[in-house]
Structure 1
Amino acid sequence: MSISTTYCELLCSWPQQWATFARSWFLIDARMQPPGKIASMCSVRLQGKHKPIYHALSDCGDHVVVINTRHIAFSGNKWEQKVYSSHTGYPGGFKQVTAAQLHLKDPKAIVKLAVYGMLPRNLHRRTMMQRLHIFPDDVLPDDILANLTEELPQPRKIPKKLSEYTQEEIEAFPRLWTPYVDTHTHTHTHTHTHTHTHTKGNIMYKNLICTLLWIKASVNYEL
C-alpha cells in the first residue's frame, strides 16, 4: 500500500468540518450605535477570533456587512471635537476635518477608519478589509443578501422616543406624588353654577413622566 493511498484513506476517515472552516456572513445594524463598538465587533469577526481554529498567522476570518452607517451616533460633542488627519506626503499636504465634515462627505468613512484601526498591523489587514462590506443605508445587493447567515445584536440598546411609549407604559411608571387638581366653583347671578377645572397639575405631571421615561431609557447609554 502506497503512502499516498494511506493518506487519502486517512483524510476520508476524518469527520467533515466544512462548516468550521467556511466563511460566514454576519450582519450588523449601525443605527444609533457608537462607531467604536461597531468596529470592535467587526474586528473580532474579520480576524476569526470567535472560532476555535483561530491562529494569528492564519486567515480564517468571516465576512461582515454593516448597514445604516449614515445613522451612527457619537456621545457628547464628539461630532465637532473628534478630528481626522491625513497627509499626502507632499509639502502643504496636511489636512484635518472634523467627524461631522467627514461624515457628510462619506457616511461610510468613520466606520471604515474605526475598523481599520482595530485590526492588527500586518499583511493580513488589507485582506481582512476586503471582507468588510459597508452600506450607508439598509439597502443591500441581492448577492450579499443571499449570503447572510446571522445578524449580530446591537451593542447598545436604542432608547425609545417619547412618542413610542404606550399609554399602559406611562401609567405603569411609578408615581412620585398624586398630581394636584385645582378646582374653582364660580356662582353667577343666574341660577347656573359653572365648575372650571384647571389641569396645570396634570400637565406638570405628564412632563415629569416624560422626563423620567427618557432618563430611564438612557440608563444603558454608554460608549
Structure 2
Amino acid sequence: MSTYFPKGEVARKWFVVDADGQTLGRLASRVARILSGKDNPKYTPFIDTGDHVVVINAEKIKITGLKADNKKYYHYSGYPGGMKEEEFLKRLERRPELILETAIKGMLPKSKLGKAMGGKLKVYRGADHPHIAQKPEVLANA
C-alpha cells in the first residue's frame, strides 16, 4: 500500500464562526477539526490541509457548570516564584480572544505542523473582523 499525497496545491477556504452563546469546548473542538483539515476529503496527517477560521464575538462564549468560578489559567515565567494565575472571569473581561485561542490550539498537534495550523486561526472580541476581502463562509452550528 502506498502513501497518499494530495495532488497540486491545497485550496484553502475561509470560514467565520460566531461564538455567541456557544460552549467553549464544543466550539474549540469543531474549529480545531477544521484547522487540521480533518473535514477535508484530501486530509493527510503529515500535510497541512486545513482551512482558515475567523472566530467572532469571543466575549460571548459560554462555559458550563461551575467552571466560570473555578477555572484558572496558569503561566510560569521561568523564574523562582514566577507562577502567575488568572481566573476565567478576569481573563474573559481582559482578553476573551485568548481563552478561545488557548482552548483551540491546545487541541492541535504540538509540532511545527500544529503551529502552522494554529496560524490560520483568527479570533476577535466583537463582530467586526478585517478578513472580509477573503469572502469567508459563515459556518452554521459550529
Please report the TM-score for the alignment, with normalisation by the length of structure 2. Answer: 0.89
SS of the residue corresponding to residue 55 of structure 2 reads strand
1:153 is the counterpart of 2:137: no
Unpaired runs of 5+ residues, structure 2, are 1-6
Q: Residue deviations 1:55-99, cap 9 Å, x none?
A: 111011110000000111112221111111110111111011111
Structure-2 separation of matches of 1:30 and 1:87: 29
Q: Residue 23 of structure 1 is aligned with which of 4, 8, 12?
A: 12
Structure 2 residue identity aligned to 1:60 = T
Partner of 2:96: 107
SS of the residue corresponding to residue 21 of structure 2 reads coil
Partner of 1:71: 60
Unpaired runs of 5+ residues, structure 1, are 1-16, 156-223
Structure-2 separation of matches of 1:153 and 1:104: 26
Q: Which has the larger radius of gyration?
A: 1
Structure-1 separation of matches of 2:53 and 2:125: 14
- For residues 177-216 of structure 1, the aligned pairs below 5 Å read none
Q: Closer, same or farther in 2 for the Cα pair 1:148/1:36, shift >3 Å?
A: farther
**Amino-acid identity (%):** 35
Please report the TM-score for the alignment, with normalisation by the length of structure 1. Answer: 0.58
Root-mean-square deviation (CA, aligned residues, Å) is: 1.6
Q: Residue deviations 1:176-209, cap 9 Å, x none?
A: xxxxxxxxxxxxxxxxxxxxxxxxxxxxxxxxxx
Partner of 1:193: none
**Equivalences, count:** 136
Structure-2 separation of matches of 1:52 and 1:24: 13
SS of the residue corresponding to residue 96 of structure 1 reads strand
Structure-2 separation of matches of 1:69 and 1:154: 15
Q: Residue 60 of structure 1 is aligned with which of 44, 49, 57?
A: 49
RCO (CA 8 Å, sep 6+): is it higher in 1 or 2?
2
